[in-house]
Structure 1
């Protein structure tokens, strides 16, 4: 059990550790308080590395065995080789592993973090699904990569962690038109919440649609909005509206 992370029953298996970490439990000062895992907004590399080390310890792995990515809103997936270099990360937005004693993680601050495991075949995965990745197919790419390592799709459990919900994700007409031009099937994922003049985007609904269409063993949404729970989770959009900076949280899974 991790001390500072939300855990999902659907990922709780022998030989698997995981956590959807939030703001609590780290060393970073305001406005990155406190378990920030990114230097992009101005927090120091020393603070971030200390926070990542704390997370690795919580998961029960060595820091040198926790694989992370340089996330670029792509649909690229990386196979973790078991040796982490946090200063020189591979580019991608999905990561998979079947190496015992390793962890993999992705950082978010409104985008959707998805953790995967096939506990029987000992394969784990994680992906960062912002709107580009969600509509572009990062979920299916990550599942394909897990299968390449020996996972059985019908035995994979997937959990979507805290991310921004549609009531707080106004996108406007141009955004909607650009998405529907290539993905017309997403029309239903552009709701107008009560009082809204412009369309909003249902990011978790889009991600869950992909998970559910993949015929996995289990696909679960923790149903937590980062924007509405900014005291617990970092939210880039909330910070922007408040005129401040924010950090990034890590969602991670380990295999033993």
Structure 2
């Protein structure tokens, strides 16, 4: 039903999960743990799937929140739950509120979970190529620091996403990156088709993070496209000419219990 990052699992007072497609009630192309409120799946099935994920994180279903994602650098601070109808348009969420599970929805893009366990501040970012290119990673770090985090203490984990061997892009795509910075050439390699290249999205995300000065980074090394039994993939659905695709939730939550190391001096 889920996979974990070893580095985040080591942290006291934090739970997280990169949920797979297993363990839900949806059927057909959505089988089975589809969390996509914007998909064509039965809304009751999506609600039950999200409730199962919330229970796994030990929160009430209403306290597992995601944003209306628009492939942007926009970051919001969450202090309380919102509904599907009132969710903000953003691609990253940060919080210091215990018991509020913040998540991002993905189906090939890069899910990033952030934590400064000492400051009790967490974040979740949806880093597709547009978001990563336009600054969602740096924006998430800055928003966490405004809540008291320190980037040098941050642990950041990258969950399942499409990897270079399955991510073919056009020359126009490559040119856009090279116009921004010639050093971006390192993230492209020749494709079998003329006028195309293979793009290393996880490598690009890792580079942006490391350049930002975060403390620890872990890439769990899984590919959504290459593993249809465990993961949904937008690009795979297009290649198969399927009418829609499922979405994953990737979430992190501060536990209600403050670890002794984070509680501060006693009276």
The normalised TM-score by structure 1 is: 0.95
- In structure 2, the partner of 1:247 is 246
Alignment of 1:50-129 (within 5 A): 50-129=48-127
Whose Rg is larger? 2
- In structure 1, the partner of 2:6 is 9
Q: Given that residues 234 and 248 in structure 1 are in contact (C-alpha distance below 8 angstroms), is that contact kept between their aligned partners in structure 2?
A: yes
Secondary structure at the counterpart of residue 191 of structure 1: strand
1:139 aligns with 2:137: yes
**Matched residues, number:** 252
Change (3 A) 1:196 1:167: farther
> Cα deviations across residues 9-64 of structure 1 (Å, max 9, x unaligned)?
10012210000001001111111011111143310221111111111110011122
> Cα deviations across residues 100-120 of structure 1 (Å, max 9, x unaligned)?
111100000000000010111
> Cα deviations across residues 192-225 of structure 1 (Å, max 9, x unaligned)?
25x4532121110100001111222201111111
Secondary structure at the counterpart of residue 165 of structure 2: helix
Distance 2:252 2:161 in 1: 17
Q: Given that residues 11 and 159 in structure 1 are in contact (C-alpha distance below 8 angstroms), is that contact kept between their aligned partners in structure 2?
A: yes
Distance 1:116 1:181 in 2: 30
Alignment of 1:102-251 (within 5 A): 102-192=100-190, 195-197=192-194, 198-244=196-242, 245-251=244-250
Distance 1:55 1:188 in 2: 37
Across the aligned residues of Structure 1 and Structure 2, the Cα RMSD in angstroms comes to 1.2
Secondary structure at the counterpart of residue 190 of structure 2: coil
Q: Given that residues 26 and 33 in structure 1 are in contact (C-alpha distance below 8 angstroms), is that contact kept between their aligned partners in structure 2?
A: yes
Q: Given that residues 79 and 96 in structure 2 are in contact (C-alpha distance below 8 angstroms), is that contact kept between their aligned partners in structure 1?
A: no
The normalised TM-score by structure 2 is: 0.91
Q: Structure 2: which 5+ runs fail to align?
A: 256-267
Deviation at 1:94, TM superposition (A): 0.6
Distance 1:75 1:242 in 2: 30
Distance 2:13 2:147 in 1: 17
The answer to which of 198-207 and 35-44 deviates more is 35-44
